[in-house]
Structure 1
Amino acid sequence: MTRPKTESPATDFSVALLQQFVASGVRDVVLSPGSRSQALALAAAELERLGQLRLRVRIDERVAGFLALGLAVETQTPVLVITTSGTAVANLHPAVLEAHHSGVPLIVLSGDRPDELRGIGSNQTTTQPGIFGAAVQRTWDVGAPTGEPGEQDAARELARDAVAAAARGPVHLNLAFREPLSGAIGPGIGSIDPAEPVERAGISPTSIASAPGTVVIAGTGAGERAEEVARELGVPLLAEVSSGAHFGPQLVVAYREMLAEPEFGGAVRRAVVFGHPTLSREVPALLQRDDVEVVVVRGPGAEDYNPGHRVAAFVDAVAVEGDPAPREWAGRWVAASRSLVTTDDVAPDSTAGPREHAEAELAAVRTAVTRKSLAEAVWRATWPHDRLVLGASRLIREVDRTVPGKKVRVHANRGLAGIDGTISTAIGIALASDQKGTTRVLLGDLALLHDAGALLFGVGEPRPRIQVIVGNDNGGTIFDGLEVARSAGEGFDRVMLTAQQVSVESLAAAYGWSYVRVDTRGQLDQALTASSGPTIVEVPLPR
Structure 2
Amino acid sequence: MNPSTALARVMVDELVRCGLTDAVVAPGSRSTPLALAFLDEPRVQVHVRIDERSAGFLALGLGRASNRPAAVVCTSGTAAANFLPAVMEADEAGVPLLVLTADRPPELRGTGANQTVDQIGLYGSAVRMFTEVGVAEPVPGMNAYWRSLVCRAWGAATTPSGPVHLNVAFRDPLVPSGGETWPEPLDGRTGREPWIRGDLAERADRPVELPAVERGVIVCGDGDYDPAPFLELAAATGWPLLAEPTSNARRDPALASSAYRQLLACGDFVAEHRPELVVSVGRPGLSRQLISYLRSASRHVVVGPPNGFADPARTATDRVTAVAPPAGASPVTAWARSWHQAEVAGRAALDDILDAEAALSEPRLARDLVAALPHGALLFAGSSMPIRDLDATMTARRGVRVVGNRGASGIDGTVSTAVGAALAHQGAGGGPSFALLGDLALLHDQNGLVLGPEEPTPDLTVVAVNNDGGGIFSGLEQAGHPGFERLFGTPHGVSPERVAAMAGVEHMVVQWADDLTKALDGPGLRLVEVRTDREESAALRRRTQRAVCAALA
Taking structure 2 as the reference length, the TM-score comes to 0.88
SS at 1:507 equivalent: helix
Contact 2:282 2:309 in 1 (8 A): no
CA contact (8 A) 2:280 2:302 kept: yes
Matching residue of 1:277:
284
Cα distance, 1:385 vs structure 2: 0.9
CA separation of 1:424/1:152 partners in 2, compared to 1, >3 Å: closer, same or farther?
A: same
Match of 2:545 in 1: none
1:428 aligns with 2:420: yes
Aligned: 1:146 with 2:137: yes
The residue type paired with residue 465 of structure 1 is D
User: 1:33 offset after TM fit, Å?
Assistant: 1.2
Equivalent of 2:123, from 119, 132, 135?
A: 132
The correspondence for 2:311, drawn from 298, 306, 310, is 306
Tell me how far apart the structure 2 counterparts of residues 398 and 343 of structure 1 sit (CA, whole Å).
16
String of CA shifts for 1:78-103, please: whole Å, max 9, x gaps.
Answer: 11111111111110000000000011
Contact 1:264 1:333 in 2 (8 A): no
| Equivalence for 2:477 | 483
1:71–1:429 CA contact under 8 A, matched in 2: yes
Rounded to whole Å, the distance in 1 between the matches of 2:331 and 2:133 is 60
Cα distance between partner residues in 2 of 1:16 and 1:104:
25
Q: 1:154 to 1:307 in 2, by over 3 A?
A: closer
Whether the 8 Å contact between 1:211 and 1:325 is mirrored in structure 2 is no
Out of 325, 332, 335, which is 1:327 matched to?
332
Whether 1:512 aligns to 2:496 is: no
**For residues 281 and 82 of structure 1, do their structure 2 counterparts lie closer, same or farther at Cα, with a shift above 3 Å needed?**
same
Distance, in Å, in 1 between the alignment partners of 2:26 and 2:191 is: 25
| CA separation of 1:509 and 1:156: change in aligned 2, threshold 3 A | same
Amino acid at match of 1:199: L
Q: In the superposition, relative to structure 1, how do residues 124 and 75 fare at CA in structure 2: closer, same or farther (>3 Å)?
A: same
The residue that corresponds to 2:542 in the other structure is none
Task: Kindly provide the amino acid, as one letter, of the partner of residue 499 in structure 2.
Answer: L
Q: Summarize the Cα distance change of 1:101–1:158 in structure 2 as closer, same or farther, 3 Å threshold.
A: same
Between the aligned partners of 1:432 and 1:14, the Cα distance in structure 2 is 25
Q: Identify which of 441, 445, 455 aligns with 1:461.
A: 455
Cα deviations across residues 290-346 of structure 1 (Å, max 9, x unaligned)? x5311111269x753223422101222223341333423223212311211147878
> Tell me, what secondary structure is at the counterpart of 1:440?
strand
Deviation at 1:209, TM superposition (A): 4.0
2:215: which partner in 1?
A: 213
Q: Contact between 1:78 and 1:107, CA under 8 Å: does it hold in 2? A: yes
Amino acid at match of 2:403: H
Q: By how many angstroms is 1:365 displaced?
A: 12
Contact map agreement 2:371 2:395 (CA 8 A) in 1: no
- Summarize deviations over 1:421-473 as a string: whole Å, max 9, x none: 11111111111122421111001100100110100001200111000000110
Q: Find the partner of 1:414 among 406, 409, 412.
A: 406
Counterpart of 1:535 (choices 515, 520, 526) is 526
Q: What's the TM-score, normalizing by structure 1?
A: 0.89
- The answer for unaligned runs of 5 or more in structure 2 is 180-185, 535-553
Alpha-carbon contact 2:262-2:392 (below 8 Å) kept:
no
Matches within 5 A, 1:89-168: 89-167=80-158, 168=160
SS of aligned partner of 1:397: helix
Deviation digits for residues 94-116 of structure 1 (CA, Å, limit 9, x no counterpart): 00000000111101111011111
Matches within 5 A, 1:73-472: 73-167=64-158, 168=160, 169-183=162-176, 193-195=192-194, 198-204=199-205, 205-221=207-223, 223-224=226-227, 225-248=229-252, 249-259=254-264, 260-262=266-268, 266-289=273-296, 291-298=297-304, 304-328=309-333, 329-342=335-348, 367-407=358-398, 408-434=400-426, 435-472=429-466
Q: In the alignment, which residue of structure 2 is the partner of 1:356?
A: none
Count of aligned positions: 512
How far apart, CA to CA, are the structure 1 residues paired with 2:352 and 2:50? 47
Checking the alignment, whether the CA contact within 8 Å between 1:389 and 1:412 is kept in structure 2 is yes
Amino acid of the structure 2 residue aligned with 1:443? L
One-letter amino acid matched to 1:307: P
